[in-house]
Copies of this chain bind each other. A is one copy, B any other.
Amino acid sequence: MSGKRKGLGRATVHDVAKLAGVSSITVSRYFKQPGIVSQGLRDRIADAVARLDYLPNHAAGGLASTHGRIVAMVIPNISGPIFANTIQSFSDELNRHGYQLLLASSSFSIEKEESAVRAFLGWSPAALVLTSQYHSEETERLIAKANMPIVETWDYVPARNPLQVGFSHVEVGRQSVAYLHGKGYERIAFVQNSMVGDLSALDRRDGYIAQMTENGLKPWVFVPTQADPFEAGRQAINALLLRPQPAEAIIFANDNLAAGGMLAGTRAGMSFPGDCAIFGFGNYAFAELLLPSLTTIRPPAREIGEIAALRILQALGDIPVEGAVPHLNLLDCELIVRESA
């Protein structure tokens, strides 16, 4: 009586079709384009679905239609303070339109990114989202021949092929200098990220150097050797302030470093911004909880997720667009002036 294979034991379109007295393709259409199924059949199908507790099998659907309603995303890390908002807004927006998120983290390693991309492509996702412009050659090759929308987030590099949704890190570096110089500071130092692999942070440093030079100031980059961001911040404060010509202002590559530096300084009896102005990047959750609260730049993390999802849904035809889907999406960072600078 039984066939040779087991299956899931769940009801299938065929079961529903039989119970409703229609063909299975009609059941399929009932889910995909209810509009073209007549009212009478719709009711019968709805009833059968409820009675059999039918759940569509997306793996089968994806196989039959060459790609499923799934979108893959590779992000450097999930638990850090940076990308979580992007993942959240991206995921929410996709879910709202019936897509699911397949997620992996690369830990800022292009090898791990590559293996995630490879695994993801095997699922034939509807679209693929990466972070930044920095990938392995093999990843470049894979995405070049992948037949789906590809999106690069966070970095904004107009010359690249994938759809861009991000901001200019170089501009952030420049903006930081412009703000501090505008307030009269001249000996402005930059503390580089101690996190290896975060190449975008170096773009911010380059922007700092360019703007300092243009303003006739001397760039002064400190590279911490400590890996722990709070330790690195402490190290930077000691190196830049306990010297004959101390820094008047310090731009840290991110808020973690800035907080570590400020904490170490405060405990050593310094006061900010009195002894030195402190400027961060990221607007992490704690920035407004510090004493003094931290002046920083807020990257459009949530917006990046939203726009990336929007562009993908437009490219897939789930959201209407006028004309072509915008390929270049340059978002603004927000300068958040608080007490520290």
Chain B residues contacting A80 (CB-CB under 8 Å) are 84
Chain B residues contacting A260 (CB-CB under 8 Å) are 289
CB-nearest residue of chain B relative to A6?
Answer: B66
Interface assignment of A157: CB less than 8 Å from any CB of chain B: no
Chain B residues contacting A100 (CB-CB under 8 Å) are 102, 104, 119-120, 123
CB-nearest residue of chain B relative to A145?
Answer: B53
Distance A54 CA – B184 CA, assembled complex (angstroms): 60
Minimum CB–CB distance from A288 to chain B (whole Å) comes to 8
Binary B-proximity of A119-135 (CB < 8 A = 1, otherwise 0) = 11111100000000000
CB-nearest residue of chain B relative to A147?
Answer: B9
Interface assignment of A182: CB less than 8 Å from any CB of chain B: no
Interface assignment of A18: CB less than 8 Å from any CB of chain B: no
Give the interface residue-count category, chain A. Answer: 35 or more
> Is B104 within 8 A of A95, CB to CB?
yes
A 248-297 contacts with B by CB, 8 A: 256, 259-260, 263, 266, 284-286, 288-291
Chain B residues contacting A104 (CB-CB under 8 Å) are 91, 95, 100-101
Interface assignment of A154: CB less than 8 Å from any CB of chain B: no
Chain B residues contacting A60 (CB-CB under 8 Å) are 63
Interface assignment of A88: CB less than 8 Å from any CB of chain B: yes
Interface assignment of A208: CB less than 8 Å from any CB of chain B: no
Distance A85 CA – B79 CA, assembled complex (angstroms): 5
> Is A122 within 8 A of B58, CB to CB?
yes
Contact of A123 among B58, B145, B263 (CB under 8 A): B58
Distance A104 CA – B93 CA, assembled complex (angstroms): 11
Interface assignment of A37: CB less than 8 Å from any CB of chain B: no
Among A63, A87, A91, A145, max chain B CB count under 10 A is at A63
A 96-143 contacts with B by CB, 8 A: 98, 100-105, 107, 115-116, 118-124
> Is A122 within 8 A of B57, CB to CB?
yes
Chain B residues contacting A124 (CB-CB under 8 Å) are 8, 57, 59
Distance A81 CA – B84 CA, assembled complex (angstroms): 9
Interface assignment of A166: CB less than 8 Å from any CB of chain B: no
> Is A63 within 8 A of B66, CB to CB?
no
Distance A80 CA – B88 CA, assembled complex (angstroms): 9
Distance A101 CA – B105 CA, assembled complex (angstroms): 10
> Is A263 within 8 A of B289, CB to CB?
yes
Minimum CB–CB distance from A127 to chain B (whole Å) comes to 15
Contact of A286 among B85, B87, B118, B286 (CB under 8 A): B286
Chain B residues contacting A123 (CB-CB under 8 Å) are 58-59, 70, 100
6 nearest A-B pairs in the assembled complex, by CB-CB distance: A286-B286, A79-B88, A79-B84, A58-B122, A59-B62, A78-B88
The 23 sampled A-B contact pairs (Cβ below 8 Å) are A8-B66, A8-B67, A55-B118, A55-B121, A59-B124, A60-B63, A63-B63, A78-B87, A79-B85, A80-B84, A84-B84, A91-B104, A91-B105, A92-B105, A95-B116, A95-B119, A98-B119, A100-B102, A100-B119, A101-B102, A285-B285, A286-B290, A291-B291
